[in-house]
Structure 1
């Protein structure tokens, strides 16, 4: 019985939301950040990058304190206001005038995360979680909802469709060709319906935001220990989520690029691959896999199709069937000598929207020697791996939608 509740969001005023909303800070290049900071005084990047005001780089706890200060300034000048009562929110995002995502913004329960009602499919890095926990403890707000997914639900779908027939609170388009529509759900009867539908689900799954959710759970433990009158209803017992039906998710693959062949010649490398794969040299013909267990490889100016020889591979659980794991088990680890997918400096990832053309360009320039492409993982693979208590290799899924910062802010 997952608990998803309404909350009092702090939100931009209608006239400024399009100026405030930004992609996460780390997704911009330095030049892009500087351009936005120079030309848009309302960008949420001013909060995320408070050192701009002093023309210097600031990090650590000093930065965290200044982030909080910038946020308070945005509230003081009226750019942000907090809703007077708890609400759910409906958010529709249209990418490039063709792909539509619709989901509810609400507060997810940290206890549900701890009890595995909210399920995970990725490992987190301890150091990254610790830093973000300290950040949250200082700033006491979260501007980036965790992306969670649930099985398609007729009642929630019906509520969404009815709301979308009314005028949205926000309607704006970004320079990235994303159009956003946003509704505030104040009706207590709708609150009851929405909460009831989530409570009747067996599980909810994290699609994107594992570090953010893990940090929120660690923060809850810290603040609970410090609160002699803890009730379990305090805001820190929840974290902000964007809840989207499974059919609305778009899952892309991550490609892998490797700097060298681990001391092997091209022919030696191909001979080792032949033990596990049927190999077809496609020469200059671009190739992208159309089904699972097929891989694209670019090497020395040629594309190759690699088809796994099933009889030589041990499928013993859901993780072993995942193409990213197959690539690691058959090529990256035994042949190319990559033991740790998170830390090996010879390995680089590129998300699948850049496709194999990006891989080809990086290899042709001499930055890498070989690249691999995969068929995207499915939502069912992701859920099964989570259900079995296993974790996908890093950079297995690039999931859309990617959410903007500053549209809804959860204070605690």
Structure 2
């Protein structure tokens, strides 16, 4: 069963929602955050990237930054920029990008279900990357940003959510600067909340789609609060973390592409000869960049020429859920043996470009600071679920989800 619990959300005054809403903290650096929030005292970046309100030389991981975040959150609530609902509620969050919509339920999930693997993972987390959000959540005493969950769609759940959306007026409805629509409904009917909560108990698993480090950080803060409160009962807010849970049928994984610094000492002719041992190579004659048409096809851009690569059947292991992924095939048969990228997590010669940036960005990078680029066909939600179900993890930088959840539209206080 999946625990999906309503909560007393902290959210913007409706008149200020579009000014409060901000991109997630981890898609920008400090300078970019400072520029984004310039002239906007309501931006949630004053909480999620509070170093922007301190001296420019401040270390963004210094304790003073987390103290400032807590202070800014408290002030935004005191000034009515943010308000808290008096009773536990669900929130329905719809995003529309390029005509495609995804509608998720904003709720709280159990930290125990993360620990017992009812909440499935598909990535490793690195403890050093968790520390920042652990401190941030701790000082703010809140889950200040949600994590992005998915589940196998259930018709009964869809019906309730869709009926609520059709029958009620949203409390927020605005379009952000990047053209994405953000619409939020508040579900405050106690009977409907109970019905939805019970239906989720029939859902076997929830899956982390995006935000593994944030999820791990939220769980660790919950465990820290338990240590601080040894007589806890289990229903305290710190036992839960804030999530937005989407049905899989509405989600789309975008490509996550690669650029590499050099040809690892090979001439182009030598490199292509090595590549053709595992892939068929075709010069792409189209006017546009080559975007892979299906699984096991790849685009390659080097020296102002696009190529189409097709993995040869003998290198594909369709029986292994991880090995058959295109990111695995590329890594095992080209990036590692030919270009010398043994560990893509740590090697400074490789970088990753989310599909939202487009294939022109790959061309730009090869002309600026890289030598060669690869475009990939994205994995499916079914592949993500299958790997998570058997307790395996996907290779690093396998999935890119768009649109990103906006921060500041809902916050979960831990006590």
Q: Same fold (TM over 0.5)?
A: yes
> 1:265 corresponds to which residue?
267
Which residue, out of 329, 332, 335, partners 1:332? 335
Q: What's the counterpart of residue 171 of structure 1?
A: 173
Q: Which residue of 1 aligns with 2:239?
A: 237
Shift of residue 313, structure 1, vs aligned partner = 4.1
DSSP-derived class of the 2:238 partner: helix
Task: Tell me the distance in 2 between the aligned counterparts of 1:210 and 1:179.
Answer: 25
Distance (whole Å) between structure 2 residues aligned to residue 50 and residue 326 of structure 1? 41
Find the aligned partners of 2:225 and 2:30 in 1 and give their Cα distance: 35
| Structure 2 unpaired stretches of 5+ | none
Structure 1 position 31, deviation (Å)? 6.0
1:314 CA drift (Å): 4.0
Residues 337-363 of structure 1 show CA distances to partners (whole Å, capped at 9, x for unaligned) of 111111111001101122322111221
Q: Quickly say closer, same or farther: Cα 1:54–1:264, change in 2 above 3 A.
A: closer
Question: In the alignment, which residue of structure 2 is the partner of 1:12?
Answer: 12
CA contact (8 A) 2:91 2:105 kept: yes
Whole-angstrom CA distance in 2 between matches of 1:126 and 1:23: 23
Q: Normalised by the size of structure 2, how large is the TM-score?
A: 0.95
Matched, 1:293 2:301: no
TM-score (norm 1): 0.95
Select the residue among 397, 400, 405 that pairs with 2:399. Answer: 397
Partners of 1:255 and 1:355 within 8 A in 2: no
What's the CA shift string for 1:191-235, capped at 9, x where partnerless?
Answer: 111111111011111110100111112222222122121211111
Aligned counterpart, 2:161: 160
What is the deviation of 1:401? Answer: 2.9
The residue number in structure 2 matching 1:132 is 133
Match of 1:27 in 2: 27
Residue in 1 aligned with 2:145?
144
In the alignment, which residue of structure 2 is the partner of 1:274?
Answer: 276
Q: CA RMSD in A?
A: 1.6
Query: 1:146·1:212 contact (CA, 8 Å) conserved in 2?
Result: yes
Partner of 2:410: 408
CA distance in 2, matches of 1:134, 1:361: 37
Residue 400 and residue 151 in structure 1: after superposition, are their counterparts in 2 closer, same or farther (change >3 A)? same
Tell me how far apart the structure 2 counterparts of residues 30 and 69 of structure 1 sit (CA, whole Å).
19
Distance 1:207 1:282, change over 3 A: same
Alignment match, 1:83: 85
Contact 2:30-2:49 at 8 Å conserved across structures: no
Aligned positions, number: 410
Cα deviation, residue 81, structure 1:
1.3
Alpha-carbon offset, residue 93 of structure 1 = 1.4
Equivalent in the alignment of 1:104: 105
Q: Are 1:350 and 2:385 matched, yes or no?
A: no
| Secondary structure at the counterpart of residue 106 of structure 1 | strand
Aligned to 1:227: 229
Conserved? CA contact 1:283–1:301, under 8 Å: no
Q: Deviations over 1:280-330 (max 9, x none)?
A: 122564311110001111111211111111124444410001001111111
Query: Which blocks of at least 5 consecutive residues in structure 1 are unaligned?
Result: none
Q: 1:28 to 1:225 in 2, by over 3 A?
A: closer
Distance 1:44 1:120 in 2: 28
Is 2:214 the counterpart of 1:188? no
